[in-house]
Structure 1
Amino acid sequence: MQSDLSALLQQALAELDYGQQPATLYDPIRYLIGLGGKRLRPLLTLLGGQLFTDDVRPLVKPALALEIFHNFTLVHDDLMDQAPLRRGQPTVHARWNPSTAILSGDVMLVRAYELLVENVPLPLLPQVLRRFSQTAAEVCEGQQWDMNFEVEISVTIPQYLDMIRLKTAVLLGFALELGAVLAGAAVTDAEHLRQFGTDIGLAFQLRDDLLDVYGDAATFGKRVGGDIISDKKTYLLLTAQAQANAAQRAALARHIGQPVPDEEAKVQAVRAVYDELEIRPQTEALINDYFQAALLHLERLSVPAARKEPLRQLALQLLERES
């Protein structure tokens, strides 16, 4: 079932026309979309809709709007981070230039709005546009908080969790909510789906933080230890700093925020403190807490259990992933 929905999305994505001229504006869009990805957000929209309807084809283009919007954020995020690679290939600003990345990203946002309103019943249009715009603004807020945290000396764990909620989780929640709304779900069911997606999104990002430190380099897809090398304030680091004794604080201070010639030695030293403080099992416990909270919202949906199973299985896949 999930593979059928993914194939439907992939076919529709391949048929999209973003524009032709000037090629320097539209080629970067086709390039980035062509790099692939999980297509998670549009898949969630179709799975959310499939709970309430047997025909999700009218939901495909609104679902793709979220994929285009997500990739728009990647173009601008990569530019802000000066990231050289995306999915193992040069980023848009690296392959073209920063100005092109800005303009191509802007066009992607415009196309996202165009796709969003296709096949949307007129009475639902104000609600859909309002919720999408609110979610898009929250994603931008999350990105700004993330950048703020790079220079702030003190960041609390609740602040970090709220940042990843905005930057990552709210879009997953809206993806499910959108599918439910377009499929005619009751308001309470749409809300439970939004909360389910948000909790799964938080667990998803925490899993990513964990894999960055403890993942298998062969399957992770990124350099293991990258967050430690870049001094990124993740849940793992913030928890370690909050719980460390004097010796452990000193060990962290020797490496975090300091120029370190041997990056691998830095990763090993910080990971050793994490191991002493049992940061990994603490992170896994929080991931499970969010997952269990998500399942409670799934259980409260007023649809048969069999229709919920594909969504539950996808959530399990996301949390058990190694990349």
Structure 2
Amino acid sequence: MHSFLELSKLFEEKFNVRHFPGHTETLYDPAQYILGIGGKRIRPVCVLLANELFDEITADAYHAATAIELFHNFSLIHDDIMDKAPVRRGMQTVHMKYGESTALLAGDVMFVKAYENLNKIQPFNLQKVLQLFNITAAQVCEGQQLDMDFEKRDTVSFEEYVKMITLKTSVLVAASLQLGAILGGSGEGNQKHLYEFGKNLGIAFQVQDDYLDAFGDPDKFGKQIGGDILANKKTFLLIHALEVATAEDKAALLQLMIDNPADKVEKVLAIFKKCKVDEWAKQLQENYFQTALQHLEDTAVLSARKKPLMELAQYLMVRES
């Protein structure tokens, strides 16, 4: 069995090549550019971790992991355009460096390249893999659309936000694990448990992200604290505060979202703390985390073989950046 860090290194060695033709550089260089600025590669490594849970890591697992990482970066290119984001991982986003039209095409061709890698998988697994991949790809797009829809609304319910996060973020982690399990010869019961493990871990990760944006250490978080507050993003924290605040605090919170004063972050955080949103968020994260761990526990594999997935879960939950 390999650890998450060992598999990250193995995957990076195989993935760190040019994935696109040498011609039509104005199209393919921008696509290669985003792959070269790094990332944790959590999703593709989840494919390998789940595959090794049941069997030796196969060539098909690397094909699926590569497809997952290409799809993920396709979604990042398009998300950055929609969010008008200037920076990704400390570097210029593709659309800022090469223009929006080229960025759209670069994302499109990356999606095509993902399918090229899936097509390398042995035929007896290919139908199951394609079905799961197609469902997941559509769900990620649905989640992004819901996220944009929520920007136009004054309020979003807790249930609506969980659904959006599940689709936009969690299902790709969940599907990555299930893909690895399929390619490792797992039964459907274990596949479902690993899917639910990934889905709940992904939601817990987002709760942690929302929490760190408001209450994290700026030196460790690596981003401006209160960025979500300044952007009026409907996070777990804001949604809960609006649900439990007194009428006076709720009115003040809504007014702060309209007025955007210079001390907005400080005032919003004061209301959050008054509502004990920080304590609630930590408990919410723990609830999803424990649900994830229960599904991992219920996966019918020797406990020792699950250790790398347990280490990954703990790594994601104790992060400060």
Normalised TM-score (structure 2): 0.97
Match status 1:32 vs 2:34:
yes
Q: 5 Å matches for 1:162-311?
A: 162-256=163-257, 258-262=258-262, 265-311=263-309
Give the stretch that moved more between structures: 16-25 or 181-190: 16-25
Q: Which residue of 2 aligns with 1:124?
A: 125
Give the stretch that moved more between structures: 217-226 or 276-285: 217-226
How much has 1:64 moved relative to structure 2? 1.3
Match status 1:60 vs 2:62:
yes
Distance 2:176 2:47 in 1: 5
Give the stretch that moved more between structures: 148-157 or 228-237: 148-157
Which amino acid in 1 is paired with 2:301? V
Which amino acid in 1 is paired with 2:282? E
Which amino acid in 1 is paired with 2:64? P
How much has 1:57 moved relative to structure 2? 4.2
Identical-residue share of aligned pairs (%) = 45
Which amino acid in 2 is paired with 1:228? I
Distance 2:267 2:59 in 1: 52
How much has 1:16 moved relative to structure 2? 4.2
How much has 1:240 moved relative to structure 2? 0.2
How much has 1:220 moved relative to structure 2? 1.2
Normalised TM-score (structure 1): 0.96
Aligned length: 319
Q: Residues 112-146 of structure 1: CA distance to partner in whole angstroms, max 9, x if unpaired? A: 1111232x221221111111010000000000000
Q: Is the 8 A contact 1:63 1:116 kept in 2?
A: no
SS of equivalent to 1:127: helix
Q: 1:85 aligns with which of 59, 71, 87?
A: 87
Q: Residues 27-66 of structure 1: CA distance to partner in whole angstroms, max 9, x if unpaired? A: 1111111111110000111001110012344411211111
Q: Is the 8 A contact 2:4 2:309 kept in 1?
A: no
Distance 2:104 2:170 in 1: 24
Q: Is the 8 A contact 2:48 2:57 kept in 1?
A: no
SS of equivalent to 1:50: helix
Q: Which residue of 1 aligns with 2:111?
A: 109
Q: Is the 8 A contact 1:251 1:269 kept in 2?
A: no
Give the stretch that moved more between structures: 169-178 or 108-117: 108-117
Distance 1:248 1:105 in 2: 43
Which amino acid in 1 is paired with 2:316? L
Which contiguous aligned blocks of 4+ residues in structure 1 show a shift greater than 6 angstroms?
none
Q: Which residue of 2 aligns with 1:98?
A: 100
Q: 1:17 aligns with which of 19, 22, 26?
A: 19
Distance 1:246 1:128 in 2: 50
Q: Which residue of 1 aligns with 2:147?
A: 146
Which amino acid in 2 is paired with 1:126? Q
How much has 1:89 moved relative to structure 2? 1.1
How much has 1:203 moved relative to structure 2? 0.4
SS of equivalent to 1:51: helix
Distance 2:72 2:315 in 1: 20
Gaps of 5+ in 2: none
Distance 1:251 1:261 in 2: 12
How much has 1:260 moved relative to structure 2? 2.2
Q: CA RMSD in A?
A: 1.1
Distance 1:222 1:24 in 2: 31
With over 3 angstroms needed to count, the CA separation of the structure-2 counterparts of 1:253 and 1:154, relative to structure 1, is closer
Q: Residues 258-278 of structure 1: CA distance to partner in whole angstroms, max 9, x if unpaired? A: 14241xx10010000000111
Distance 2:260 2:210 in 1: 21
Which amino acid in 2 is paired with 1:79? I
